[in-house]
Amino acid sequence: MVNLSSFSSIHFLFYSLVISLSSTVICGGIETDHEALLKIKSLITRDPYGALTSWNDSLHLCDWSHVYCGKRHRRVTYINLSSQGLEGSLYPHVGNLSFLRTLSLGNNSFQGAIPQEVGGLYSAIGAMLPNLFWLQLWGNQLSGPLPASISNCTSSKLLELNKNKFSGHLTVDFSKLTKMEIINIEDNLFGSKEADEMKFNDSLKNCRRLKSLAFGNCGFQGVLPRSIGNLSNQLYELTFYGNQLHGNLPSSIGNLVGLNKLSLGGNQFTGNIPSTIGKLQNLQDLYLYENQLSGQIPDSIGNLSSLLKLSLSSNMLEGVIPSSLGNCHHILSLFLNDNKLNGKIPVQLLQLSSLSITLDLSQNNLFGSLPTEIGNLNMLTTLNLFDNNFSGNIPSSLGGCSSLLRLSLKGNLFQGMIPLSLNSLKGLVELDISHNNFSGHIPRFFEKFKLEYLNLSYNNFEGEVPMLGVFANESTFSVLGNRRLCGGIIELGLSKCKETSKFTKKLHLYLIVTLIASALFTATCLAYAWCKKKRKSHLSPSSTSERHLKVSYSQLLKATNGFSESNLIGTGGYSSVYKGILFEDNDTFVAIKVLHLHTRGAQRSFMREFEAWRNLRHRNLLKIITSCSSIDFQGNPFKALVYEFMPNGSLHDWLHSSGNTSRLNLLQMIKILMDVANALDYIHNHCLPTIIHGDLNPSNILLDNDMVAHVGDFGLARFLGTSYQNNSTGIRGTMGDIAPGIIGFHIYLHY
């Protein structure tokens, strides 16, 4: 233990003092212990929990609370008063407790000096150091140089002196501490500015049992020596963060193959990251942030297959992001921000579904469009891409990042409208897309988000500023620099939005319906002629049926997070439809239609729809991936159909949902009608047997990423010329298919 008499003039809050002894000499008797404990109590000025209430003459001292005696000699061996909220000073003659082995007074508010008499705890403090098993003095205000006599603690396994104010040159000779396992001297004021200040590292090579070495935030200067690679192969933690170390990182660091954590951030290291770092395959946390490292990120970093957290931020790294990072399949957080990286984001990086905390690529020179694979990061909570040179439209797949809480795209070259798919990012609390070239109207669905901060400033947005949700408080959002905006709350000072006259609206409607009717007639004729011409070349779908992936009830349960309500996207009389991720099929987004088998007619609907999909294949029909006929965990029958997920919802959503502020333009409406016409022509004229849909309406017309229409829900279908045709009694819905022209009129009525 530290020579306590050398600290007799040091005043401190006594947060943690543990003194452990392993040799004894009998001096005095039980009366001496009794007197010493009562005098200790007399100097306690505050005892909020009554820890010392039982310390009186009515009980034998061995029965007092927090006091422990030896069974044979009935002398005090252990006092534990930690975390009792005690205030006061330490009784000088605590050293009279000659049988005391452990005194624990941590996490209290003792003040004053460490009494010199503590040295009276048997033959003087220095004499007992060789037998000291562990020493904890962390969390106090101890100062001055660390005594070299600690080198005599040859039996010690643990040395914790962190969170004090020790200073000066570290003179401890660690070569004698061969049994040491944990050394923690973080958060002190060492640093002598001598050239050989880090020489103490050389003496650590004899500590072959060393598991944790924590020297962070100590003020050390100098170069990290090559001898660092000679440390114990059992070492799992090495921290030198927050010092003033400089020079290159030694390649010998690759010898420490047992490391789980390497923290060297907040120093002044220069040069390249050594490729030997790829040998540390047990490494889980790697922190090299806030240095002056340069060159490229080595490809060998992809060998760190156990990596959970990687921070290389605030350096001078350049070149492209290595695609080998895609091999780090367990990584949770990745910080590459504030460097000089360029090129595009590697697709392999965006396929790391493990990324669930932070991906920060901000403040670099990255360019190109944002890959559609960004939607794979469906567990990510923070995505920072600000201050780069990204361009193009935001991909609709970004809506797949449904766990995002914070998203920053500011300071790039993005353009176009905000995609409707971002409506799925309902958990966002911070969104910053300022200083880009976004245009169009501000989406109304932002009103329903629980945003705490929204920055849309310095773009090209136009039209009315919403007034609900985050838009109701001027301090929580910004729309500065968008010159064509109007309306909003009065504090914005924007001009009032102009209203379109009734005559202009009627004229627009008249022109629109005329154009729709003309274009629809022409398109239908052309489509029919083309389909007629190609009819003979079509193969019967039943002759080329695909093998479908087999899934179980448990797999679908997992895909939908237990058929949770948050994944529910629709409910009908016979079924409920859930959004899910099919992990067995490369994490594919799917729509899972679960039949309500307790409802009369549901079984027949399932068989009818399954039979329909077994005979269908067309680009404008909803694609089935597989089906499931099984039992649930309670033994009840379970049936479901798994379809391709349509991220843009149904035509009904676009026509009726209040959350959709964007309207279908003329070309989109014509395209949707043509897609529906193609689908109906196919099932009427090119299928064997001919199929009548039976319930065609906007809810059953689904739209994919590119706004291509797909007809779905064949639960009420009729099969002409088969037994299914004659077994349609009681079927509800349309007896024949609705013509595309009627769908077009439906679009017109809601335009």
CATH number at residue 601: 3.30.200.20
- What's the mean pLDDT when you consider all of the chain? 81
Res. 127: pLDDT tops 60: no
Instruction: Give the pLDDT mean for 314-338.
Output: 96
Q: Which of 645, 673, 707 is the last residue of a domain?
A: 645
Q: Which of 628, 645, 662 is the last residue of a domain?
A: 645
Looking at per-residue confidence, does 549 or 258 come out higher? 258
**660 in a domain, yes or no?**
yes
Q: In the beta sheet, which residues pair with residue 80?
A: 104
Most confident among 73-77, 87-91, 424-428 (mean pLDDT): 424-428
Looking at per-residue confidence, does 109 or 148 come out higher? 148
pLDDT tens-digit readout, 675-697: 888 888 888 887 777 888 777 88
Instruction: Give the pLDDT mean for 615-628.
Output: 82
Residue 399: per-residue pLDDT: 94
Q: Binning pLDDT at 50, 70 and 90, where does residue 617 land?
A: confident
DSSP state, residue 551: -
Q: Binning pLDDT at 50, 70 and 90, where does residue 419 land?
A: very high
Do 35 and 126 share a structural domain?
yes
Residue 536: per-residue pLDDT: 41
Instruction: Give the pLDDT mean for 564-588.
Output: 82
**240 in a domain, yes or no?**
no
Do 553 and 492 share a structural domain?
no
Most confident among 114-128, 326-340, 573-587 (mean pLDDT): 326-340
> Phi and psi (nearest 5°) for 454?
-140, 120
Q: Binning pLDDT at 50, 70 and 90, where does residue 133 land?
A: low
Instruction: Give the pLDDT mean for 304-314.
Output: 96
pLDDT tens-digit readout, 480-508: 999 999 999 999 999 999 875 444 555 55
d(CA 53, CA 322): 66
Residue 390 contacts residue 369 (beta carbons within 8 Å)? yes
Confidence (pTM): 0.61
Residue 748 backbone zone (phi > 0: left; psi -120 to 50: alpha; other: beta): alpha
Residue 90: per-residue pLDDT: 61
Q: In the beta sheet, which residues pair with residue 478?
A: 455
Do 443 and 473 share a structural domain?
yes
Res. 473: pLDDT tops 50: yes
Q: In the beta sheet, which residues pair with residue 690?
A: none
Residue type at 71? K
Instruction: Give the pLDDT mean for 118-147.
Output: 57
Residue 584 contacts residue 555 (beta carbons within 8 Å)? yes
d(CA 340, CA 317): 6
- Active-site residue list: 695
d(CA 673, CA 650): 13
Residue 721: per-residue pLDDT: 60
Instruction: Give the pLDDT mean for 705-734.
Output: 64
pLDDT cut 70: percent of the chain above it: 77
Q: In the beta sheet, which residues pair with residue 437?
A: 415
Most confident among 3-17, 58-72, 438-452 (mean pLDDT): 438-452
Q: Structural domain of residue 1, as residue ranges?
A: 1-132
Most confident among 190-199, 436-445, 495-504 (mean pLDDT): 436-445
The first and second tokens of residue 574, run together, are 């016979």
Answer positive or negative: Cα dihedral of 563, 566, 569, 575: positive
CA distances from 326 to 299, 350, 629 (A): 11, 8, 37
Cα dihedral angle (640, 642, 643, 648), rounded to 10 degrees?
80
Poorest-pLDDT segment among 49-53, 302-306, 531-535: 531-535
Q: In the beta sheet, which residues pair with residue 578?
A: 568, 592
Residue 197: per-residue pLDDT: 81
Do 727 and 715 share a structural domain?
yes
Do 668 and 519 share a structural domain?
yes
Do 548 and 468 share a structural domain?
no
Do 670 and 529 share a structural domain?
yes
Exposure string for 234-263, b = 16+ CB within 10 A, e = fewer:
ebbbbbbbbbebeeebbebbbbbebbbbbb
Do 663 and 522 share a structural domain?
yes
**306 in a domain, yes or no?**
no
Poorest-pLDDT segment among 29-33, 453-457, 507-511: 507-511
CATH of the domain at 44: 3.80.10.10
Cα dihedral angle (414, 416, 420, 426), rounded to 10 degrees?
30
pLDDT tens-digit readout, 363-376: 999 999 999 999 99
Instruction: Give the pLDDT mean for 242-270.
Output: 96
Do 581 and 620 share a structural domain?
yes
Do 26 and 128 share a structural domain?
yes
Give 381's Cβ-side CA count (13 Å radius). 5
Residue 176: per-residue pLDDT: 87
Residue 585: per-residue pLDDT: 65
> Phi and psi (nearest 5°) for 593?
-100, 110
Q: Which of 629, 645, 661 is the last residue of a domain?
A: 645
**274 in a domain, yes or no?**
no
- To the nearest 10 degrees (0 to 180), the angle between helices 502-534 and 666-685 is 30
Res. 398: pLDDT tops 80: yes
With H, G, I as helix, E, B as strand and everything else as coil, classify residue 389: strand
Do 657 and 641 share a structural domain?
no
The first and second tokens of residue 354, run together, are 């493990």
Do 491 and 384 share a structural domain?
yes
The first and second tokens of residue 418, run together, are 């905000």
**368 in a domain, yes or no?**
no
**157 in a domain, yes or no?**
no
Count: domains in the chain: 4
CATH of the domain at 519: 1.10.510
d(CA 578, CA 566): 9
Residue 101: per-residue pLDDT: 65
> Phi and psi (nearest 5°) for 734?
-75, 135
